Chain A
């Protein structure tokens, strides 16, 4: 957009508020399928994030009110709240948020200078540190329970008062189950487990479609561009069709796209404007890289889902991508890149 067409561009806080609004359908879907844990996680993460952000801004002698009003800490916390297991204990979320805000964001110089996606750094820290808490605290879909846990029971489980909820309420994710049990069973037998539902994976398909809807809204509002989501989803689907076309041996493509955190990653995590590539061509490469890495780790790695690692690994490559995909300025010849030949 050049001078005759410029208009007041939305401020950081306005952009962040639209992002928050666009995640709401996904949050509602998560709560309605998997219970209050997600709401409690989101609220707790936001609370911790705002307090931590204020404290670290004060330590860094930066204006606290001004930076708190940019809503970036809220977005980071919201993404973590949506990504963490809903029954994860309070200290897991606390450590994730503090690592995200303090280590990934402010130690690198604050919003705009962070090389890595703060929310994903927080997620990776707790995923590496507490593997058990991070794999066993996923919620069983409410439909499959006779008496779903109420708000107070969930709160009590997360904050460690009033005991824990029964084992039936928690478990592994469908991606995890499919990946581990497909070795011993055929897809048709495996899919009879109620956790997979009729379509892709009970609950998860609607959650992912809700995030897809929110993401399309962001593209329509021109908050994000289509490049990263499209290349990411396309490369993930392509990898899955190439290497996992047989549902009796590997997680099928529709599950890669509609279970786990795929859509949340495509529209809300990978599109983080600070840590992603900047030019449109660069964004295509960046998104495609995340898709390939996500498939590699999901299919052949130890983790059932790998959004955090895929995004962080591609964050490393952003300076490289940006260097090679810098658009040519009009009237200038194409710059020479790479080693002199």
Chain B
């Protein structure tokens, strides 16, 4: 299998094949911990680290693991990296680790990670696999942080509260009270808000894609006459 060029891997991870918006993988943590920016960023970083490590390792051992046992092997690798991340978080961001709770160990079951290991890393050399892991992780993290920002803003009217959990004492002053005297909107904080928010983000992505496609069709030369087929179905506007 020919390796895809670097810019295509990048675009795939961040946009075209984004794990959260297009593949819809790893939704459990995505929906559960995106109540605030700091929670989302914490989980996003942890997932990014695991994804990067597992993609590199899977790519390294891809010639030595039999096809029939590859999935258990991948899961073992992912589990080891999750344990490392968990220990790192306990050492450097213990409070955040406690807030994220079960969702850190649950990264093992994040289908996005196993999916990338099986679909990409096990078939590609180390460098593209690492890039893929990095870009997929960044794409996932971007959606997490965006959703966390939306929910924090609508839910409690602030942005970047408690950033010191991740960045130390100097980040304590980063909290930005966007709407003072805000009436908390619990719906955004509760799980339904995550579903609605993610739905809106997916719709936004599709809208941007449609706009780009329309722009491309408008600027590219029209198809020659005779090569078109009449479409009889479609929307009446």
Contacts and interface: CB of A to CB of B under 8 A. Distances in A.
Nearest to B237: A61
Contacts of A95: 185
B183 A128 contact: no
Interface string A95-128: 1000000010000000000000000000001001
A91, A129, A133 pick with most chain B CB within 10 angstroms? A129
B186 A128 contact: yes
Interface of B: 183, 185-188, 190, 192, 196, 237
A128 B183 CA distance: 13
A120 to B, nearest CB: 14
6 contacts: A129-B185, A129-B188, A130-B183, A130-B185, A130-B186, A133-B183
Contacts of A91: 183
A128 B196 contact: no
A50 B218 CA distance: 35
A128 B187 contact: yes
A128 B185 CA distance: 8
A61 B237 CA distance: 7
A125 B187 CA distance: 7
A130 B154 CA distance: 13
Interface residues of A, number: 10
Main secondary structure, interface of A, reads helix
A187 to B, nearest CB: 34
A130 B188 CA distance: 11
Contacts of A4: none
A131 B186 contact: yes
B88 to A, nearest CB: 37
Contacts of A128: 186-187, 190, 192
Nearest to A133: B183
A125 B188 CA distance: 10
B237 A129 contact: no
Contacts of B190: 128
Interface in A129-144: 129-131, 133
A128 B187 CA distance: 6
A130 B184 CA distance: 7
Contacts of B196: 103
Contacts of B192: 128
Given A128-B187, A128-B190, 5 more contacts: A61-B237, A125-B187, A129-B188, A130-B183, A130-B185
A307 B187 CA distance: 18
Nearest to A128: B187
Nearest to B189: A129
Nearest to A130: B183
B198 to A, nearest CB: 14
B183, B188, B192, B237 pick with most chain A CB within 10 angstroms? B183
B185, B188, B196 pick with most chain A CB within 10 angstroms? B185
Contacts of B188: 129
Contacts of A61: 237
A66 to B, nearest CB: 13
Contacts of B237: 61
A330 to B, nearest CB: 32
Nearest to B192: A128
Contacts of A133: 183
B25 to A, nearest CB: 24
Contacts of A131: 186
B190 to A, nearest CB: 7
A54 B183 CA distance: 28
A95, A130, A131, A133 pick with most chain B CB within 10 angstroms? A130
Nearest to B187: A129
Contacts of B183: 91, 130, 133
Contacts of B187: 125, 128-129
A176 B192 CA distance: 26
A61 B196 CA distance: 23
A103 B185 CA distance: 16
